[in-house]
A and B are shown apart, each in its own frame.
Chain A
Amino acid sequence: MSHGSPNTGIWSWITTVDHKRIGVMYAMASLLFFVFGGVEAIMMRTQLVMPNNTFISAQTYNSMVTMHGTTMIFLFIMPLSAAFFNYLIPLMIGARDVAFPRLNALSFWIFFFGGCLLNFGFLINQAPRGGWFGYANLTSKVYTPDLSADFWAMGLQVVGLASLIASINFFVTILNMRAKGMTLLKMPIFVWTSLVTQVLLMLSLPVITIALVMITFDRHFGTGFFDPGAGGSVILWQHLFWVFGHPEVYILILPAMGIVSEILATFSKKPLFGYSVMVYSSCAIGFLGFAVWAHHMFTTGMSPWATTFFSAATMLIAVPTGVKIFNWISTLWGGRIRFTTATLFATSFVAMFTIGGLSGIMHSSQPIDTQHQDTYFVVAHFHYVLYGGAVMGLFAGIYYWFPKVTGKFLNESIGKAQFWLYMIGFNLTFFPMHFLGIHGMPRRIFTYAPDQGWNLWNAVCTAGAYMTAVGGILFFINVVLSLVAGKKSPADPWDARTLEWTIPSPPPEYNFAVEPVVHHLDDFWHQKYDHNGNKKTLPKQPYVDPSTIHMPGPSFWPILLAGGITIGAAGFFLSSYGLVVSLIGVALIFVSSYGWSFEKN
């Protein structure tokens, strides 16, 4: 995988500060964790294929449920989105790199080590099993005496830190490193949704940081934040978690929305319909996303005033979200649509996300939600928006930008086979869950009695899951085959609209030989075509000697600092020799911080 960088070999990847390489590493790591999350899902579905099954124990099932959610959210969707932020944002805004390249590398290594910490429990049979949302006081020392809850809390702290640091980096990059002439309303829509995502990250992560600290203190320092016997409150955990948790779901969906917007415009050969409306609705979703958290708590006995407020706010947030659906449809409408694999995934996003949105708006009514809460109806809802939505959108992005990143196309036939296996498998798995929920099947149960009327649909769900797994295997085969023998791609294989397509595939280390000057939204399109749609001749790029372009050099302080942070966190909850481990971590942190500060760049 050559990326125009002069360096090859493991050490060059470990010390890289090039946003493109970091993006690739994020993608590879997230796909690795995707396999973990997929296996966890298959384990669950196999256990549930028939009533009173004994495939796995209840405790193992709880670990699967917990880690499947935690892994898919924090170790797959978020880092894969980060891969896109990393690779594309500088290219789309006409910059040579992000604002803080070493910080960028730091974020990746913290995430990767944190992901390892989260999964470490499996090795000692103490994998987290308190649910991905760790409801108190199941996570207390009394009800979870082993280390599993600590792996979960500390692992999330570390992974959260990675996202926080990255969010500051990208926020500054987007606002401060744009090419000349690229005003905010001339930025590609993906950059806008990414910007809102960074704001959501940087503001919501501190809340869960504190909440997780409180869990750790309760478990190890005898505090009683979530212990009613000590004067604490379990509901407090739910509030704090969901104040983070709700913005988190918009963090999960907004990048995919941006990706889909770019792809649908390109393959309809039309500009995105209602660009400024899409921008404002993204901002509205971001802002309102902080005002709806307690709709996850409609059955906890809040006062009528609180319930009404959150119910109304949730219904309100459906408006900017729904507006986007109409804009995507209008983008496709009347366009000269080209159905590549990317288009298929992107259009399926629109349809699947709409279905998920419909079940979502049903939840916004508290009386109805009382029927849905903790049943499979909710499981159906969030898989439609997260899997049918975010994951489909991210796969669309992979098929779309793979040629740019690697210089080779992904195979379209295998891609379409994967797509159909995914579409059919996904719908087979999750549509019946609406029925299961309405028929009363609760969430998070490891088995069920044979006389509940749930047998048929559970079997169907499991069949769908296996179909999806085959699709996933096809995807990995496609990636390997294409890397080895894929069709070569030019700079602009799709006749696209944004700046990343103006440079070679794969791009040189410095991205742009000459920093671009932007005059329009979809500037590249305007460079290629005039108002009547006639092709223009592109101006010849002046020759620039690459050695005159100064790029930041590699550094090993990021990986060292990331190691120190993770070791410090890991030692925190080991009782006997934990302090020593943590101190080693702290020492590493000090050494790397000073080394970093005084590094010449």
Chain B
Amino acid sequence: MSESGHHHIETYTGVDNRKFAMWTLIASECFLFGTLITNYMINRDRVITGPRAVEIYDINLTTISTFILLMSSVAMVLALHGCKEKNLKQFRTWTGVVILGGLMFLGCQVYEFTHFVHQGLGLSTSVFASSFYMLTGCHGAHVFVGVLWQLSILITSFKRGEKWFEPDIIEVAGLYWHFVDVIWIIIFTVVYLITYLV
């Protein structure tokens, strides 16, 4: 998120350092979420008291939130495209859509969690509950950070005006956003859908 004063450093591979660093971070985060998902898979039947997964998941709601996040990813590529084409309106509008999508997704998560708590599934109700909340909570926190990041970009765009186009930075922010979406793609199947099948 540095300003236009950042001079382009020549790199050995030709890839921008920040982009390279984001892919490296993504590799690391694969292991973070991989551990959380593994932990969930190991613990998903560990219920002594409280609702089980089959009893409590709302697939309709989760499909909607999955769809929203997916659409925000589409908006993200379009925002990057707008930035590359130096189309200010396109860039700002689609970035706004990304933020909106992220906030709606988080809203669905908050709704889901509140609903679950009312149905008797708290953080410490069972090991299944703890594993579920830890996984989806961590993912939600990542979405939240992403929303903050996109918001900062949008605000910077309004402060700097029509000369501010930094496709390198937007691309890196986009990689982060898409990765958070990709993790949810896995979670949707492996956590929610599989519950009713295996």
Footprint of B on A, CB under 8 Å? Answer: 99-100, 164, 167-169, 171-172, 175-178, 180, 182, 202-207, 209-211, 213-214, 217, 221-225, 230-233, 236, 240, 243, 597-601
Least CB distance from B9 to A in Å reads: 8
Segment among B36-44, B62-70, B108-116 that sits at the interface with chain A:
B36-44
Interchain Cβ contacts under 8 Å between A and B, 8 examples: A172-B24, A177-B12, A182-B12, A222-B124, A225-B39, A225-B130, A236-B39, A599-B2
Residue contact A210 to B35, C-beta cutoff 8 Å: yes
Q: How far is the CA of A404 from the CA of B193 in the complex (A)?
A: 60
Contacts of A221 in B (CB 8 A): 123-124
For residue B7, which residue of chain A has the nearest CB? Answer: A550
User: Which of A100, A176, A204 counts the most B-chain CB atoms under 10 A from its CB?
Assistant: A176
Least CB distance from B120 to A in Å reads: 15
Residue contact B25 to A168, C-beta cutoff 8 Å: yes
Say whether, besides A172-B24, A209-B32, A225 and B124 are in contact (CB < 8 Å). no
Contacts of B6 in A (CB 8 A): 601
For residue A95, which residue of chain B has the nearest CB? Answer: B12
Q: Is B5 an interface residue (CB 8 A)?
A: yes
Residue contact A223 to B130, C-beta cutoff 8 Å: yes
Residue contact B32 to A206, C-beta cutoff 8 Å: yes
Least CB distance from B19 to A in Å reads: 10
User: Which of B3, B39, B130 counts the most A-chain CB atoms under 10 A from its CB?
Assistant: B130
Within 8 A of A (CB), among B8-45: 11-13, 15, 17, 20-21, 24-25, 27-29, 31-32, 35-36, 39, 42-43
Say whether, besides A213-B134, A231-B48, A231-B127, A175 and B13 are in contact (CB < 8 Å). yes
Q: Is B126 an interface residue (CB 8 A)?
A: yes
| A-B contacts besides A169-B21, A202-B31, 13 pairs, CB < 8 Å | A167-B28, A175-B13, A176-B13, A176-B17, A178-B12, A202-B28, A206-B32, A221-B124, A225-B43, A232-B43, A599-B2, A601-B5, A601-B6
Q: Which label, helix, strand, loop or mixed, suits the secondary structure of the B interface?
A: helix
Q: How far is the CA of A583 from the CA of B5 in the complex (A)?
A: 33
Q: How far is the CA of A51 from the CA of B24 in the complex (A)?
A: 52
Contacts of A100 in B (CB 8 A): 17, 21
Contacts of A225 in B (CB 8 A): 39, 43, 127, 130-131
Least CB distance from A427 to B in Å reads: 38
Q: How far is the CA of A175 from the CA of B23 in the complex (A)?
A: 13
Least CB distance from A169 to B in Å reads: 8
Residue contact A203 to B28, C-beta cutoff 8 Å: yes
Q: Is B61 an interface residue (CB 8 A)?
A: no
Residue contact B21 to A172, C-beta cutoff 8 Å: yes
Q: Is B74 an interface residue (CB 8 A)?
A: no
Chain B count of residues within 8 A CB distance of the other chain: 36
Say whether, besides A175-B13, A597-B2, A601-B5, A210 and B32 are in contact (CB < 8 Å). yes
Least CB distance from A182 to B in Å reads: 8
Pick from B3, B13, B128: contact of A600, CB below 8 A.
B3
Pick from B3, B21, B127: contact of A598, CB below 8 A.
B3
Q: Is B89 an interface residue (CB 8 A)?
A: no
Contacts of B152 in A (CB 8 A): 597
Residue contact B28 to A206, C-beta cutoff 8 Å: yes
Residue contact A223 to B123, C-beta cutoff 8 Å: yes
Residue contact A214 to B134, C-beta cutoff 8 Å: yes
Contacts of A598 in B (CB 8 A): 1-3
For residue A178, which residue of chain B has the nearest CB? Answer: B12
Residue contact A230 to B127, C-beta cutoff 8 Å: yes
Q: How far is the CA of A232 from the CA of B11 in the complex (A)?
A: 49
Residue contact A203 to B27, C-beta cutoff 8 Å: yes
Residue contact A171 to B24, C-beta cutoff 8 Å: yes
Contacts of B43 in A (CB 8 A): 225, 232, 236
Say whether, besides A176-B17, A217-B130, A231-B46, A205 and B36 are in contact (CB < 8 Å). no
Contacts of A210 in B (CB 8 A): 32, 35-36, 39, 134
Least CB distance from A477 to B in Å reads: 42
Q: Is B47 an interface residue (CB 8 A)?
A: yes
Residue contact A168 to B24, C-beta cutoff 8 Å: yes
For residue B130, which residue of chain A has the nearest CB? Answer: A223
Q: Using an 8 Å CB-CB cutoff, how does the interface string of B69-101 with A read, 1 for contact, 0 for none?
A: 000000000000000000000000000000000
Residue contact A230 to B17, C-beta cutoff 8 Å: no
Contacts of B127 in A (CB 8 A): 223-225, 230-232
Say whether, besides A210-B36, A225-B130, A168 and B12 are in contact (CB < 8 Å). no
Q: How far is the CA of A180 from the CA of B12 in the complex (A)?
A: 7
Contacts of A207 in B (CB 8 A): 31, 35
Say whether, besides A206-B29, A224-B130, A99 and B17 are in contact (CB < 8 Å). yes
Contacts of A205 in B (CB 8 A): 28
